[in-house]
Structure 1
Amino acid sequence: MFALIVAGEAVFFLPFVLPRIFRPTLLEVFHLTNVQLGIAFSVYGMVAMLAYFPGGPIADRFSARKLMSFALVATSIGGFALATLPSLAGLKVLYGFWGITTILLFWAPLIRATRAWGGTKLPGRAFGILDGGRGLVAAAIGSGAVVLFSFFLPAEVQNASFDQRADAFRQVIILFSGITFAAAGLVWFALPPPNEPSDDSPNRYEPGGVGRVLRMPTVWLQAIVVVCAYIGYKGLDDVSLYAHEVLEFDEVQAAHVGTLSMWVRPFAAIAAGLMADRFGVARMTMLSLLVFGIGSAVIAAGAFRPGITAFFFITLIATSAAVFALRGLYYAMMEAGRVPFGDTGSAVGIVSVVGYTPDVFMGPLMGILLDRWPGELGHQYVFTVLTLSAMVGLAASISFWHIVRRPT
């Protein structure tokens, strides 16, 4: 599980964690607008959408150890290319490449291996520990990256030259790339070689899994929950820029705000997983979506001004906790939804094709809202989108709860 946790977060350091923590700096160093960065995210999302579906059956048939190790090595190579600070065209190529390495070869094997670890009795704990552990890794590495970034800048951050900012940011990229490469070795040596399942094993691969999963209404409701929760996760990319533009934090302070959001993740995901095994995945999912919606609505209402930081941090922590709790819950819904283990990869592929569509549209949408309405108004529109998504997700989770309560 330790190897799954480290690898499960390291593979996303470069495409997602980096811009989340250092969004203002990334925009400056690469000479990008929010829309241009959103387009790069969209390229990743479109490639990922094509990769999720075939990635599921591949995970059901082949070794997670081999697939995940190769994916990590390839992703890290892309990171070293990013350290050369390529043009916008090169950045879009890199994000498309990462869409293949992180999704086609990595995502479904990670979920399948985690479900196998948790078994039928502790699915909430397994996925809660996975996402909580991933959050702990991301927060620790993210905090270290902020320290490294500030080390290469002068004491007065505002006085740093462009070259100083670019060099400091390059060191952070190299750090993330090296950790991703090291994670490949950890996976290779920590994950055991797969055992061939016997003919009567419930874990064996059987053709037709995609068709079986497509006929399950709980899978479609799970996919809707993932869409709405993932919109919230992508929306949290805006918190560092919000702190910078609305609350007037400097770049390092804004990066610390983004890191604070990440530190909430391990505690929220693990706690949600433990409570899901005790009180039910569906109930915890409904509660998390409700809190996510309320927190987003408060920010969308424009409740914060420079100097009013305590209420902002309380709201940020609560909203982040709800979003990260959902990340620890929404794959545990498979066990509650009675998806056969042998069809796990196929179910992951279908849920992911639908659930991660925000990778395609959220980046450009956020960019358009933030660039067309500069300042606080653009951020309010972003969090209005998050509020609406939470409401839709809550409706889907209530329907899921009604279905799973019925006797088999």
Structure 2
Amino acid sequence: MHDINRELTPAGRTIAMLALIVAGEAVFFLPFVLPRVFRPTLLDVFDVTNLQLGIAFSVYGVVAMLAYFPGGPLADRFSTRKMMSFALVATSIGGFALATIPSLAGLQVLYGFWGVTTILLFWAPLIRATREWGGTKLPGRAFGILDGGRGLVAAAIGSGAVALFSFFMPSEVQNATLEQRTVAFRQVIFLFAGITFAAAIFVWFALPRSKESSDDSQSKYEPGGVVRVLRMPTVWLQAIVVVCAYVGYKGLDDVSLYAHEVLDYDEVQAAKVGTLSMWVRPFAAIAAGLLADRFGVARLTMLSLLVFGIGSAAIAAGAFRPGETVFFFATLIATSAAVFALRGLYFAMMEAGRVPFGDTGSAVGIVSVIGYTPDVFMGPLMGVLLDRWPGELGHQYVFAVLTLAATVGLMASILFWRIVHRPI
């Protein structure tokens, strides 16, 4: 295995992981963090329905599905540093286009463009570099630190963005005109685009150049790796777990709108609820990664899916009413923790599933093609459920879907655990 750790000092190793963390979240600020935290405002400013926004997500998802598989072999063949830096610059340019408040068609084209920049050029290099950083002994820690760190970056920037948005809004938020909301929202878009561009510069200088000239044959892409990976049942089960966990992640996009429509929070309060969910992520993912290296990735995955299912079922059952703050926040924190723990675990499953390092990109491509299909269907599905059944009922249906996903994922993780604990 090409070993990044032999080429870096301890300080360089820390800086390299920090670059992966910042870049790994910054690249998704514009397409995903923005609508997650500011969904009610985005719908008003762009004058779109939940379904129309969901279709834009779906365009992204379709492009991403086409990009995941070729992106895997590209990551095994070309420079991580160059691919990630270029992807970040291109994504930030899309952000400045978003600030012009394009039409619905323009918004959909932009999401398709981001599907190329964030997936074809970025995703597999990020996962390969992280697996390389963790090596064979600390896969859980590597991916836990990556996703936990990404969560910390998202929560910090998200909170800053909410503060910036609040600064540009009038003191009486409910009385803000569309023009005032648009001006405030545009500042948030500029903030996210600027940070994404800065992340590109950080990656360019922080990641080692050595892989570009590496002669290590085990680090190079081999066509036979695709066939080897396709024959591994653990890879297919890992893909199912990723699908189910990602349904949960996409479902959390509904949290701020749920707080606004069901619990009567205003737009700023609803954005803070969405940000609270994000603050859970760093602690959950890092803790899950550390515990996984000690107790096993499969065990922690099963536990996380169980908690995710219970929390989703509580919301689906209509357990909350305005004013029931403590119970709601306890459930939100537990459910968010389980979902974000899964994000810190599901690529660490690759080491437990005994995927050869030289086939990492191919495995990432295959798992991602299947695992991230919620990018295609969850946006439109949530849009249909929320628009057709306005109010609490639509949100209950959304979380019923999440409950079903958690149940399927739990069954797949149990099978994965049985296979990896079977004698070789």
One-letter amino acid matched to 1:302: G
CA deviation vs aligned residue, 1:74-115 (integer Å, no higher than 9, x gap) = 000000000000000000000000000000000000000000
Whole-angstrom distance in 2 between the partners of 1:315 and 1:192: 42
Alignment partner of 1:13 is 2:29: yes
Secondary structure in 2 matching 1:202:
helix
Aligned partner of residue 120 in structure 1, secondary structure: coil
Give the Å deviation of 1:159: 1.0
Matched, 1:284 2:318: no
Residue in 1 aligned with 2:348? 332
Q: Which amino acid aligns with 1:347?
A: A
Q: Which amino acid aligns with 2:78?
A: F
Q: CA RMSD in A?
A: 0.7
- Aligned-residue identity in percent: 86
- Aligned partner of 1:347 in structure 2 is 363
Aligned match of 1:192: 208
Match of 1:65 in 2: 81
2:318 equivalent to 1:302: yes
Q: Measure the CA separation in 1 of the matches of 2:362 and 2:236.
A: 13
> How far apart are the structure 2 equivalents of 1:2 and 1:221?
30
Specify the alignment match of 2:38 in structure 1. 22
Confirm whether residue 323 of structure 1 aligns to residue 350 of structure 2. Answer: no
The answer as to 2:271 corresponding to 1:261 is no
Deviations 1:244-289 (A, max 9, x none): 0000000000000000000000000000000000000000000000
Shift of 1:194: 2.8
2:165 to 135, 149, 152: 149
Q: Which residue among 248, 251, 257 is the counterpart of 2:264?
A: 248
Name the CA distance, whole Å, in 2 between partners of 1:350 and 1:185: 30
Gaps of at least 5 residues in structure 1 are none
Partner residue of 1:127? 143
- Equivalent positions of 1:366-381 (< 5 A) are 366-381=382-397
Residues 37-52 of structure 1: matches in 2 within 5 Å?
A: 37-52=53-68
The structure 2 residue matched to 1:77, chosen from 70, 74, 93, is: 93
Structure 1: distance between partners of 2:392 and 2:40:
15
Q: Which amino acid letter does the alignment assign opposite residue 12 of structure 1?
A: F
SS in 1 for 2:209: coil
Partners of 2:52 and 2:383 within 8 A in 1: yes
**1:140-191 CA-partner distances (Å, limit 9, x unpaired):** 0000000000000111101111100000000000000000000000000000
Residue among 133, 137, 155 paired with 1:117 = 133
What amino acid is aligned across from residue 123 of structure 1 in structure 2?
A: P
- Rounded to whole Å, the distance in 1 between the matches of 2:423 and 2:279 is 39
Q: Distance in 2 between matches of 1:384 and 1:160?
A: 34
For 1:275, the equivalent position in structure 2 comes to 291
Calculate the TM-score normalised by the size of structure 1: 0.99
What are structure 2's unaligned runs of at least 5 residues? Answer: 1-16
Q: For residues 139 and 77 of structure 1, what CA distance do their matches in structure 2 show?
A: 23
Q: Which residue of 1 aligns with 2:13?
A: none
Matches of 1:51 and 1:205, distance apart in 2: 17
Query: Mapping of 1:226-237 within 5 angstroms?
Result: 226-237=242-253
Equivalent-residue separation in structure 1 for 2:69 and 2:417 (angstroms): 26
How many equivalent residue pairs?
407
With 189-198 and 94-103 compared, the bigger mean Cα shift is at 189-198
Counterpart-to-counterpart distance in 1, 2:379 and 2:329: 24
Read off the aligned partner of 2:246 and give its amino acid letter. Answer: Y
Q: Is the 8 A contact 2:27 2:196 kept in 1?
A: yes
Q: Is the 8 A contact 2:76 2:219 kept in 1?
A: no
The amino acid of 1:120's aligned partner reads T
Q: Which secondary structure does the structure 2 equivalent of 1:32 belong to?
A: coil
Q: For 1:386-397, what aligned pairs fall within 5 Å after superposition? A: 386-397=402-413
Shift of 1:209: 1.1
Whole-angstrom distance in 1 between the partners of 2:218 and 2:420: 21
Letter in 2 for 1:397: S
- The one-letter code sitting in structure 2 at the alignment partner of 1:135 is G
What one-letter code is carried by the residue in structure 1 that aligns with 2:256?
Answer: S
